[in-house]
Amino acid sequence: MHRMSSTTEITMRLFIAAVLAGSVLAISGMASMQPVLAEKSSDKKGGDDKKSDDGHSKKIDPNMDIKKAYIDGNNLVVQVKGVAGGTTPPEPPTGEFGQVYGYAFTLADGSIWVLNAHWECHPQSGCHPGSMVSEWHAEQVTLAQIDGKTCVTSIFDETMDVTTVGHKGSIHVLHPAKIVKVQTVAFQLTIHPDTAPHEPDPDNPICVAYFVTQFDVWTPKTHGDNEEKDD
């Protein structure tokens, strides 16, 4: 076998050393990544791991986690992974009106129907010891931006013709338009909902309640053709 010159031999040794050093660095890098990957993959407790609008992971209460929505006859229907109506707002401090939790349907005709529950507080002084959560009911609302907040500006057409059974919640509507979007949301009341205007005042709008949280959102575009009974 031909023997390499001393210069060539030194060069080869340096090359091999460099390759080995690179391998060690690569292995060290892989080892340092493992705990991070393990933390992410194990971060699956207490509900489904979905992505929020900004791409970060978030947990969704299964009772507010929308599986699909559709129209069944004259009923707007939302189906969740948990129990429809199974989660209600936390008890507010004495004197406050608390939050509204709802399943909000945005329809193609621009109307917004909300299947919701809130604490039954005194219309003027807010909640007090002994207050309780209302029955699930529905109404139409209008929304507007007031002082940088998304606000409910009027509440009308209240109905108790609703159901919350098992995975499904529904609102009976005389002439339902096609469902554009369904959201599970929380709004903070600033006044008692029974004292809200029945139509918005464009010159002096009132913020009846302002948007706090969107738990989940469903649209036919992002979730496929789930409106299986939509006429």
User: Phi and psi at residue 143, in whole multiples of 5°?
Assistant: -125, 150
Residue 172 CB-density burial (10 A; 0-12 exposed, 13-18 middle, 19+ buried):
middle
CA dihedral 208, 211, 215, 216 (to 10 degrees): 90
Name the DSSP letter for residue 126: B
| CB neighbour burial string for 104-143, b if at least 16 within 10 angstroms, e if fewer | bbbbeeebbbbbbbbbbbeeeebbeeebeebebbbbbbbb
Q: Average pLDDT of 107-112?
A: 98
Could you tell me if 71 and 176 are in contact, meaning their C-beta atoms sit under 8 angstroms apart?
yes
- CA 160-219-137 angle, to 5 degrees, is 10
Does 29 score more than 70 pLDDT? no
pLDDT greater at residue 224 or residue 108? 108
Confidence label for 163 from pLDDT (cuts 50, 70 and 90): very high
- For residue 221, what pLDDT is reported? 84
- For residue 59, what pLDDT is reported? 85
Over pLDDT 90: what percentage of the chain?
68
Residues 187, 183: Cα–Cα separation, whole Å: 12
Q: Where are the beta strands (DSSP E) in 108-136?
A: 112-120, 132-133
Residues 113-151 pLDDT 10s: 999 999 999 999 999 988 999 999 999 999 999 999 999
Q: Which of 129, 136, 135, 118 is nearest to 208 (CA)?
A: 118
Residues 209, 98: Cα–Cα separation, whole Å: 10
- Name the average pLDDT for the chain: 80
